[in-house]
Structures are given as structure tokens and as C-alpha cells.
A and B are shown apart, each in its own frame.
Chain A
Amino acid sequence: MTVAPSDLLGRARAGDKRATARLLSVVENDEPGAADALRTLYPLTGHAEIVGITGPPGGGKSTLVNRLTGAYRATTDRVAVVAVDPSSPFSGGAILGDRIRMRERFLDEGLFIRSMASRGHSGGLARATSRIVNVLDALGYGVVLVETVGVGQEEVEVVRVADTVCLVTVPGLGDDIQAIKAGVLEIADVLVVNKADRPGADETARDLAQMLTLGAPRTAWKAPIIRTVAATGEGTDQLIAAIAKHRAWAAESGERDARRRAAARAEVEDLLRDSLVRRLRDRLGQERVERAIARVADRAIDPYAAVDELLRE
């Protein structure tokens, strides 16, 4: 299909899913036309409710996303899911399997599911995730659910993309719950104890409540603890209500604007850095950089000296 990105844009905006999928690839891969497409779409963004779902692996994030999707679809014409899975650091390949839990919704006309590989980006998202979310937002998806990589401690970047972040945990993680408290708990707007029909749910909820009391709260928002059983759908309505409540609070308190500003800053700084590095590399030539790398590897010079030398040239 040879289609100029501008045509894609028109067709995607008219609701053509194939064009939407292609457009997302153009933006994800930074193919020619990506910047133009984003330029056109950006003014149309800011209307979607963007909900982040994060938490350790095995917590049932995908199953919960599937439940939320069903519930949101009852009230929203178009819902999108962006699910991020890790890329292999060795081959660069990835297995993206979050869709498996959503199979009964594959043919839902109002739902668009897109998998993304993290492609070496840390933080629980792919580098292009926020751009992908922007495109879906601009195309009129009223709710965008963003499911992060399930690693546990450092997937805090979702806070840059989502209006409301749900941290999903389960009973029986034992000491692992300690591990999530450092970074992830801080960014959670809603805490979810999934698989709450299992033994230990009370303790998990109690542990979370206790952790919340540690340290100074960043805002006046007190993250509620919601119990769900994603496998049966129990608690989905309460979770949706908690997300809505947070959304209303964030809009009123200025938290949403503050977060969007921080997100914009991160996005601009990322692009600036990429662009500077690219320009620098073009000017220096890959060969010169490679020579410097080889000398560092041979211990002929140290990495700082190599950078100094390259920048002086």
C-alpha cells in the first residue's frame, strides 16, 4: 500500500483502522511524514481520558485491562489499548502477548488494540508510546488504556503519559511488595489489589495502606485501594469510579495541568536530545565515533576523554 502520510491521516481520521494502524507505525518508527502527521494531530489532542495500568508481572494487568475495556466501551464509542512488552536486549526482538487476554474483543469495532515493544527504552514504556497515545487521542479515542511492561520498580514513566495511573498488585507477592514501594507506589493514583479472592488480600491491602502513610504525600490526593477479581470482573465498576474520581480531582486541583506540563517538558527534552545527538553524529561521522569507542575499549583513553575529544573536533 503506497499511501502518503497525509492521505493516511485523512483516512485514519475518518475511522479507517488500517490507515490508523499504518499511521501509528509511521509515528512509532519515525518514518518519513511522522513529524508532519504529529504537527497536524497535536492540536486535536487533550480530550482522551488516558489511564495507565502498571504493576509487577503476574498481577493480572492484561486481564484487568480487558475488563476495563469492556466497561469503558459501554459508555465510550472508541476505546484504545496500548500494551507495551519488553524487547530482548540481545536480539532486539520481542514477543507481544498482551492481546491474548483480550481475544473476545478483537472484533469490537469500537476498540483498537496496539502492542508495542519497548525497544530498549527503560521506564516501562517504549520511547514512542506517548506519541502513539497522542495520535489515538487526536483520532477521537475517548479512552486510551496504557499497559506498561511488567517489571516492578522502575516503570514510572507512565505518569508522563497517563492522567491517572493504576498500580495493580496481587496477594502473595510477599516481600516483592516492598520492592514496588520505592518508585512505583509514588506515582500510583489508584491502588488495585487484584485476585482479591485469594488468601492474603487483606494483608496486601493493609501493607499498601501502611506504605501510603510513609513519607510526605506529594499532593492532597489519597490513593484509594480497590479490590478486584479481574477474572470474574468483580470490582471493575469500583475501579472505574475511582479512576473517574481521580480524574475530576486532577482537573480541579491543577494536578492534570502540572502533569501535562511535565510530560511536555520530557517530550521536548527527549526530542531535543535525540536531534542534537543525530546532528552531532552526522557532523562527526560514524567512523570517528567508532574510532573513539575502540580506543576506549582498548583502554587507550577513558570515556570522558573520548567525549571531550569528539566534542572539541
Chain B
Amino acid sequence: MARALRDAGMEVIYTGVHQTPEQVVETALQEDADVIGLSLLSGAHNYLFPRIAELMREKGMDDVLLFGGGIIPEADVPGLQKHGVGRIFPPGASLDDIAKYVREAVPAKKVAK
């Protein structure tokens, strides 16, 4: 995934696996990231996404896009989006589509600033 985004011309901070929500948000904050992408296979998405969104709000990172993908039941997606999470990509989603989504989301966000 990181490679696909790099190939789409983006600078990707790769943090490694098994990060706590606090670590993810602190990294995004220090790196001044425009987007946080979370790949989750663990089944903990209903905890991790809302927790990260909450930490982002606490830190005033309202202009940072949070989105993700992985093994996430479709039924859970609306609940996550209520927490302010953007698109959730299913396994096997096209890398091009994901890169396109990020590219389109970021300038929009920049304009809104």
C-alpha cells in the first residue's frame, strides 16, 4: 500500500505494524500529515478508528483525513463513518482507486482550510 501511494507521487510515512492509537496520532502530528491511512486486519476497527478520531479531535487535527481498509465487515462501515472516518476500502480494492481517493481528498481539504 505504501509503495502504491509512493508510486502515485506521495510521501508516505511508514510506521510499521501494531501501533497504538496514541502513536499513530502523535506521528501524524509531528509529521504534519494530511492523511492518516489505517490498514486493519485485527478486527479491532470498532475500537481503533473511533479512538484515533477522538485523539485527532483533541489535538485539533480536524483538517486531517482519516481513512482505512482491511478486513472490516460492511455493516460496521456506517458506524465508523459517523465518527468522521472517510472511505473504508475492502480487501482487494484497486490501489489506483485508493491513490485517487487520497489525491482527490487532499486538495479539497486544503481548499477548505
Contacts and interface: CB of A to CB of B under 8 A. Distances in A.
Interface of A: 1-2, 17-18, 20-22, 24-25, 87-88, 90-97, 99-100, 103, 106-107, 112-115, 117
A304 B32 CA distance: 42
Interface stretch (B36-44, B60-68, B71-79, B83-91): B60-68
A1 B113 contact: yes
B14 A97 contact: yes
Contacts of A94: 6, 11-12
Interface of B: 2-3, 5-16, 19, 22-23, 26-27, 29-32, 59-63, 113
A91 B6 contact: yes
Contacts, number: 80
A80 to B, nearest CB: 10
Given A93-B12, A96-B11, A18 B31 contact: no
A21 B27 CA distance: 10
Given A18-B59, A91-B7, A112-B30, A107 B23 contact: yes
Contact of B6 (A17, A18, A93, A112): A93
Contacts of A117: 11
A214 B13 CA distance: 41
B11 A93 contact: yes
B11 to A, nearest CB: 5
B46 to A, nearest CB: 23
B14 A95 contact: yes
A88 B6 contact: yes
Contacts of B63: 1
Given A18-B59, A93-B10, 12 more contacts: A1-B60, A1-B62, A17-B29, A18-B29, A21-B32, A87-B11, A94-B12, A96-B31, A99-B16, A103-B16, A106-B23, A107-B22
Contacts of B30: 17, 20-21, 112-114
A100 B62 contact: no
Contacts of B3: 95
Contact of A99 (B5, B27, B60): B27
A2 B7 CA distance: 30
Contact of A106 (B27, B32, B60, B61): B27
A117 B10 CA distance: 10
B92 to A, nearest CB: 22
B65 to A, nearest CB: 14
16 contacts: A1-B60, A2-B113, A21-B30, A22-B32, A87-B11, A93-B5, A93-B6, A93-B8, A94-B6, A95-B3, A95-B6, A99-B13, A99-B16, A107-B22, A113-B30, A114-B30
A174 B92 CA distance: 42
A2 B30 CA distance: 17
Contacts of A22: 32
Contact of A95 (B9, B12, B62): B12
A100 B16 contact: yes
B97 to A, nearest CB: 17
A157 to B, nearest CB: 20
A98 B16 CA distance: 10
Nearest to B4: A93
Given A91-B7, A94-B6, A103-B23, A115 B13 contact: yes
A117 B8 CA distance: 15
B31 to A, nearest CB: 6
